[in-house]
Amino acid sequence: MSLACGLPLLECVYCLACARWAWKRCLHSGDRDSATWGLASADDFAPVPRLCRLIMANYDHHPCAPLDARCVVRRRTYADTRGRVTPYLLYLDHLHSDIVLALRGLNLARETDYALLLDNRLGKRRFDGGYVHNGLLRAAAWVLDAECDLLRDLLAHHPDYTLTFTGHSLGAGIAAMLTVVVVLNLDKLGTNLHRSRIRCYAMAPARCMSLNLAIRYADVINSVVLQDDFLPRTATPLEDIFKSILCLPCLLCFRCLRDTCIPEDAMLKDPRRLYVPGRIYHIVERKMFRCGRYPPVVKTAVPVDGRFEHIVLSCNATMDHAIIWIEREAQKALDLMLEKEKTMEVPSEQRMERNESLQREHVEEHKAALRRAVTLSVPDARSPSAYGTFGEQPERSESFPSASAMARQRMSWNDLIERVFDRDESGHIVLRSSPSP
């Protein structure tokens, strides 16, 4: 009798626990992720709409204005890449003194893109003291093997131009990997190439690197996320989600949602888990229990904990992932920023002082993120060092051979990546002789 009376009580406790989980996970609004972040400046956010239009130029039917054909240095299609990487173009933007390599996103009709995305498992590829997505890293190596000589010539002919890697979705992850590999081996693209000339803008990026790498390269990698975009919020490895779509039992048990119940501290201390790379620009244009959209606001930060770990169940999540909507909302947000600055009528001298103060704030924010990572015992997190973009030129990474050694023996970028040094458990540098598990 006592056992029978206890069953309803257990059912009530179970129902309350489920209701609490649903309230915390399913009713989470996208604007809460960046509620404590600071506002982005117009100068920092200005390249985003322009780069979105360059990415859309890789599509057969893109709504953006046609590009200047004289500035398109090279264009690669699926026939050229043979499925090794998504289509991309190399564009010489003289107006903004920028050399841009823009990659398109995932093509739902191409099985090679799925193969590229699924070429990974948790902890498969260790790189530069952290973990990265294996398929995206191999795609980045293919691009550099194909375009290394051309990029070197362009940088030599335009020594004052910046080198920008950008992409959308799957292409954004490849662009982030391109940036990391190039930064680690600057000499291969020219003797006058510095870290301050390299940057990356990843639009709705796939999770592609571990947390320590995401924070370490926040000075050169910028991720742009629109409101409730579902892709940056996949706490489960992205390849597992695509596999579960083909498995009915996995769909019935809602594995993707169940994995979000993992405590946040456990996520941070798992060195194999992949995250959205770099500094994050979050475009917020909807709020909880409020109908319709409102003028977009751009928040920015280098977060350590709470880096889009909550899945937002929103009917607009897939729409927020589209590059068209990212470009539209980014352009609206930029116009509002410029209009506000024009209304304030800030003198040019004060504007320059404000830009310098923003750069110093970026330095301090990046150092604070590194200190926060060390405090939370994030694996392989290092103490704050010079901020690459705004500080002094950092020391060359030990992950790659020297330029003199490479001059004696020419090797492909893929071979170069395979020779990356790792650190053992005691912290000593060792040469990887076999693939990491």
Structure confidence by residue, pLDDT tens digits, 303-317 = 888 788 777 777 788
Q: Residue 141: pLDDT above 50?
A: yes
User: Mean pLDDT across the chain, nearest whole number?
Assistant: 78
Token digits for 380? 């392989």
Beta strands in 143-192 (DSSP E): 162-168
pLDDT at 345: 62
The per-residue pLDDT for range 405-414, each reduced to its tens digit, is 444 445 677 7
Burial class, 430, CB count within 10 angstroms (exposed 0-12 / middle 13-18 / buried 19+): exposed
Percentage of the chain lying above the pLDDT 90 cut: 39
Most confident of 3-12, 94-103, 109-118, 362-371: 94-103
Phi, then psi, of 31 in degrees rounded to 5: -70, -15
13 pLDDT band, cuts 50/70/90, is confident
CA-CA distances (angstroms) from residue 168 to 55, 161, 200, 273, 333?
7, 23, 11, 21, 19
pLDDT at 155: 93
Least confident window among 117-126, 190-199, 349-358: 349-358
228 pLDDT band, cuts 50/70/90, is confident
Q: Which residue has the tokens 């194999």?
A: 272
Q: Residue 248: pLDDT above 60?
A: no
Cα distance from N-terminal residue to C-terminal residue, the chain: 54
pLDDT at 264: 52
Distance, in Å, from the CA atom of 153 to the CA atom of 35, rounded to the nearest integer, reads: 44
Distance, in Å, from the CA atom of 212 to the CA atom of 243, rounded to the nearest integer, reads: 27
Please, are residues 179 and 171 in contact by the beta-carbon 8 Å criterion? no
pTM: predicted TM-score of the whole model, two decimal places: 0.80
Contacts of 150 (CB under 8 A, 6+ apart): 73, 74, 90
Residue 400: name the closest of 389, 413, 391 by CA: 413
Token digits for 306? 């709470």
Q: Residue 53: pLDDT above 90?
A: yes
The per-residue pLDDT for range 153-203, each reduced to its tens digit, is 999 999 999 999 999 999 999 999 999 999 998 888 887 889 989 999 999
pLDDT at 346: 57
Most confident of 53-67, 219-233, 321-335, 337-351: 321-335
64 pLDDT band, cuts 50/70/90, is low
For each of the domains in the chain, give its residue range(s) and CATH number, in order of start: 34-381 (3.40.50.1820)
7 pLDDT band, cuts 50/70/90, is low
> Can you tell me the mean pLDDT for 286-299?
79
Least confident window among 134-148, 354-368, 376-390: 376-390
Distance, in Å, from the CA atom of 101 to the CA atom of 289, rounded to the nearest integer, reads: 40
> Can you tell me the mean pLDDT for 362-384?
74
